């Protein structure tokens, strides 16, 4: 590599003695001519030898020796007419001035070499300093990049811990969006999940008023591409990407997306939008893929937990609430009635002659009877009511904020619809009826703990009085 300062120094070191020698040569000839013709050679020789010394200092020993030799010849020619003592003195002076020129030349050469060496060392140091500074900047840039990447991976670990700490699907989806926005640093983040075979917007970091506009994105070209390829997608500019033609008017310019894969199937898409082209890097896409992988497991666990809880909460045959869940809700509603001084009623229903169905038509037929009666009970009660299978052929219904008359009306409605509709859906024509007992706090009992016993006694009375009827606790004197 060409070093301007070094080459300049070399040129100067060559130019100075060349110029000085040239000037000395030019001055030497007229001075020699003058000395030869002069009548006082001794006086003029001193000036002549000073010229030799000056030229030797600036031009070097070789040139000085040449000039000294020429000067000696000139002086010898001129001094033939002078006494031998004068000539001897001139020779001595010539030798002395020659040595003086040698010493001066050596000193000047040493000083020049030292200056050149110092200049080269300074230039080399500057050059090495610049190289080191560039290296430091490169290492600093690498350190900053590694530090940022480490921080983002730490955030990724925190996100994984956060996603695994909940089993509620809605909460998990909200956390996925929040953590993705924090780690990937996107402006807009959407999570789409499949529900009953169709993709829907599950969570978003947009305000509630803006989420409605994002719902059509569930089935757009970008999500379809992710579902079709089951791989990540990166679009640096949605208006110029040749894979997606005709994209205009979008609220975003770039996006990255990653699939939620469970059991080899794509069950969701996690997307991050940018308002400018080339808003995301390769690291952003890689982090999004890791988040999607972790989040898909968390969402699958939440759905599995919800299904397990649903199965535990509901009877597998009748789809009504299981006994343990019904008891929990019954206790909660009783405590609420005591706290707010409201009424609560209980209905107990029993299928008449159910054992005969099993004995005559088999247990499969009996199961169909149970399922059909449970379906009608669930269809008849209010949304706020809690219906459950208490055991065998007995069904129970909790009626919050419902008095004695309301409970009796609901019980009659259940009895009538079962008598009218239950037998029609059976494989064989049969008559299905139910006996119903009701009780109400505080109309029929003073304590909520007695509510179930009172309704059970009313049911027993309905069976004793001929079945297919409704009996209230007040009619059997349970208070």
Provide the residue count of the chain.
Answer: 479
**How far does the chain reach from its first CA to its final CA, in angstroms?**
110
Q: What tokens does 90 get? A: 């001139």
Q: Is 37 exposed, middle or buried (0-12, 13-18, 19+ CB in 10 A)?
A: exposed
Edge-to-edge strand list for the sheet holding 434-441 = 386-391, 394-400, 344-351, 434-441, 470-472
User: In 361-378, which positions are buried (b, 16+ CB within 10 angstroms) versus exposed (e)?
Assistant: beeeebebbbbbbbbbbb
Q: Out of 135, 393, 412, 475, which one is annotated catalytic?
A: 393
The alpha carbon dihedral of 240, 244, 246, 247 has a sign of: negative
With H, G, I as helix, E, B as strand and everything else as coil, classify residue 387. strand
In 3D, which of 421, 345, 344 has the Cα closest to residue 380? 421
Give CA–CA dist 22/238, Å, rounded: 76
CA 149 to chain centre: 10
Q: What tokens does 321 get? A: 């609430």
Question: Which one-letter DSSP state was computed for residue 367?
Answer: H
Q: What is the number of other CB atoms lying within 10 angstroms of the CB of residue 135?
A: 10
- CA distances to 106, 374, 478 from 439, rounded to whole Å, are 129, 20, 9
Give CA–CA dist 361/223, Å, rounded: 53
Q: What is the number of other CB atoms lying within 10 angstroms of the CB of residue 43?
A: 10
Unique residue bearing structure tokens 């535990």: 312
CA 92 to chain centre: 93
Give CA–CA dist 101/105, Å, rounded: 6
What would you measure as the largest C-alpha separation in the chain, in angstroms? 177
In 3D, which of 419, 225, 397 has the Cα closest to residue 318? 397
- Pairing relationship of beta strands 470-472 and 434-441 according to DSSP bridges: parallel
User: In 198-225, which positions are buried (b, 16+ CB within 10 angstroms) versus exposed (e)?
Assistant: ebebbbbbbeeeeeeebeebbeebbbeb
Q: Is 403 exposed, middle or buried (0-12, 13-18, 19+ CB in 10 A)?
A: middle
Element (H, E) at 436: strand 434-441
148 counts as catalytic: no
Catalytic residues: 393
């Amino acid at each position: 590599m060409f070093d301007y300062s070094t080459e300049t120094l070399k040129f100067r070191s060559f130019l100075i003695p060349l110029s000085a020698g040239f000037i000395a040569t030019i001055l030497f000839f007229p001075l020699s001519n003058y000395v030869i013709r002069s009548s006082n050679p001794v006086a003029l020789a001193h000036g002549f030898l000073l010229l030799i010394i000056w030229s030797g200092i600036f031009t070097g020993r070789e040139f000085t020796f040449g000039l000294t030799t020429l000067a000696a010849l000139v002086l010898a020619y001129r001094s033939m007419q002078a006494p031998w003592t004068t000539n001897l003195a001139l020779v001595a002076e010539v030798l002395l001035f020659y040595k003086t020129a040698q010493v001066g030349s050596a000193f000047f050469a040493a000083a020049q070499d030292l200056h050149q060496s110092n200049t080269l060392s300074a230039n080399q140091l500057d050059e090495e300093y610049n190289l080191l500074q560039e290296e430091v900047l490169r290492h600093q840039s690498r350190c900053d990049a590694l530090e940022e990447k480490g921080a983002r991976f730490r955030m990724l670990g925190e996100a994984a811990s956060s996603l695994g700490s909940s089993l509620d699907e809605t909460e998990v989806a909200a956390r996925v969006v929040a953590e993705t926005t924090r780690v990937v640093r996107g402006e807009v983040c959407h999570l789409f999940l499949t529900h009953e075979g169709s993709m829907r917007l599950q969570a978003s970091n947009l305000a509630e008023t803006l989420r409605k506009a994002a719902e059509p994105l569930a089935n757009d070209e970008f999500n379809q591409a992710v579902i079709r390829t089951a791989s990540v997608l990166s679009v640096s500019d949605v208006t110029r990407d040749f894979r997606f033609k005709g994209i205009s008017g979008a609220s975003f310019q770039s996006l990255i997306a990653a699939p939620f894969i469970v059991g080899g199937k794509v069950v969701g898409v996690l997307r991050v939008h940018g308002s400018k082209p080339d808003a995301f890097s390769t690291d952003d896409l890689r982090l999004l893929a890791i988040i999607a992988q972790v989040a898909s497991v968390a969402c699958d666990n939440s759905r599995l937990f919800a299904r397990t809880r649903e199965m535990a909460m509901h009877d597998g045959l009748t789809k009504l609430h299981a006994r343990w869940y019904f008891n929990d809700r019954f206790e909660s509603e009783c405590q609420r009635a005591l706290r707010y001084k409201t009424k609560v009623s209980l209905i107990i229903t029993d299928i008449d002659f159910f054992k005969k169905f099993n004995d005559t038509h088999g247990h499969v037929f009996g199961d169909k009877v149970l399922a059909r009666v449970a379906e009608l009970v669930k269809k008849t009660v209010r949304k706020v009511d809690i219906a459950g299978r208490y055991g065998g052929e007995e069904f129970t219904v909790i009626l919050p904020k419902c008095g004695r008359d309301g409970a009796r009306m609901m019980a009659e409605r259940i009895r009538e619809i079962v008598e009218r509709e239950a037998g029609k859906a059976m494989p064989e024509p049969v008559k299905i009826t139910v006996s119903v007992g009701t009780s109400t706090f505080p109309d029929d009992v003073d304590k909520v703990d007695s509510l179930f016993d009172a309704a059970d006694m009313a049911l027993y009375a309905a069976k004793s009085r001929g079945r297919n009827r409704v009996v209230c606790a007040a009619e059997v004197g349970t208070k």
